[in-house]
Amino acid sequence: MLELQGVTAGYGRTRVLHDVSIEVPTGRAVSVMGHNGAGKSTLLRVATGLLPVMSGRVLIDGEDVTRLPPSKRVRRGLGYVPQGQVSFPQMTTLENLRLVAKRPSDIDEVFELFPVLKELLGRRAGLLSGGQRQQLAIARTLLTKPRLLVLDEPTEGIQPNIVADIERVIIDLTRRSDLSVLLVEQHVGFALRSTHSYYVLQSGRITMTGDGGADAVDAVRGAMAI
């Protein structure tokens, strides 16, 4: 679905990513883990087209999209939930969902994934907790019917039970559809439990990769502690 091939990118003259290659196969969930400042958000900006590459290529379904703007990548199926995403704070949960839903029945489908949103329909998005806002942000992006869901640190600052809900949703979605997921995270346990394969990003370089799952947690934590 998505490939980054030998991507070097950064800001001004500063290089943040160095020769980064990752692959997100169709229907699979892939995590990129790294500490603060490792370059995770930068990698997602390159994937979504918000930041140009200095060298390397970005492919969607084998097509070179390196020079395509974000809007054209969205049309090719990319759905991006940026870090700390807030919906429209003055609008209610339902109004936020209606804005993006193609059909009302699609909203019922997202309630199956995030039942808590059904209880918060009339509440303004700005008054939701961090975890509820994150669920609303993911729900809104899912309503755009992406083929690749790109999540930037969805667990940041949210409580463990909501982390577990988001984990369940990612696993559910990739099990019952062809949706692909690219997740960047610092939370190693969550990332590995939610994804089929992983990459570790350290100082802008991929230093480790392998299959996801709880078995990989100790090895990844060990590598990241260096």
Ligand X SMILES: Nc1ncnc2c1ncn2[C@@H]1O[C@H](COP(=O)(O)OP(=O)(O)OP(=O)(O)O)[C@@H](O)[C@H]1O
Which ranges in the chain belong to alpha helices (H)? Answer: 40-48, 70-75, 93-100, 104-113, 115-118, 130-143, 160-176, 188-194, 217-225
Three-state SS at 20: strand
**How far, in Å, CA of 226 to CA of 212, rounded?**
20
Question: Which is closer to ligand X, CB of 39 or CB of 77?
Answer: 39
| Inter-residue contact 58 to 16 (CB < 8 Å) | no
Q: How many of the chain's residues bind ligand X (CB under 6 A)?
A: 11
| CB nearer to ligand X: pick between 184 and 216 | 184
Residue 9 in contact with residue 59, Cβ under 8 Å? no
Q: How far is the CB of 10 from ligand X (least distance, A)?
A: 7
Q: Which of 2, 38, 58, 220 binds ligand X (CB under 6 A)?
A: 38
Among 34-42, 88-96, 118-126, 213-221, which window interacts with ligand X (CB under 6 A)? 34-42
Please say which residue, 16 or 120, places its beta carbon nearer to ligand X.
16
Is 53 a binder of ligand X (CB under 6 A)? no
Q: How far is the CB of 97 from ligand X (least distance, A)?
A: 27
Q: Which of residues 187-226 bind ligand X (CB under 6 A)?
A: none
42 binds ligand X (CB under 6 A): yes
Residue 31 beta carbon to ligand X: minimum distance, rounded to whole angstroms? 13
In three-state secondary structure terms, 8 is strand
Q: C-beta of 168: minimal distance to ligand X in Å?
A: 23
Does 170 interact with ligand X (rule: CB under 6 A)? no
DSSP annotation string for 161-198: HHHHHHHHHHHHHHHHS--EEEEEES-HHHHHHH-SEE
Count Cβ atoms below 10 Å from residue 13 Cβ, excluding itself. Answer: 6
Q: What region, left, alpha or beta, does residue 101 occupy, with left being phi > 0 and alpha being psi -120 to 50 degrees?
A: beta
> Rg of the chain over CA atoms, in angstroms?
17
State which of residues 31, 41, 48, 96 lies at the interface with ligand X (CB under 6 A).
41
Residue from the set 39, 77, 79, 154 that interacts with ligand X by CB under 6 A = 39
Residues that bind ligand X (CB under 6 A): 11, 16, 34, 36-42, 186
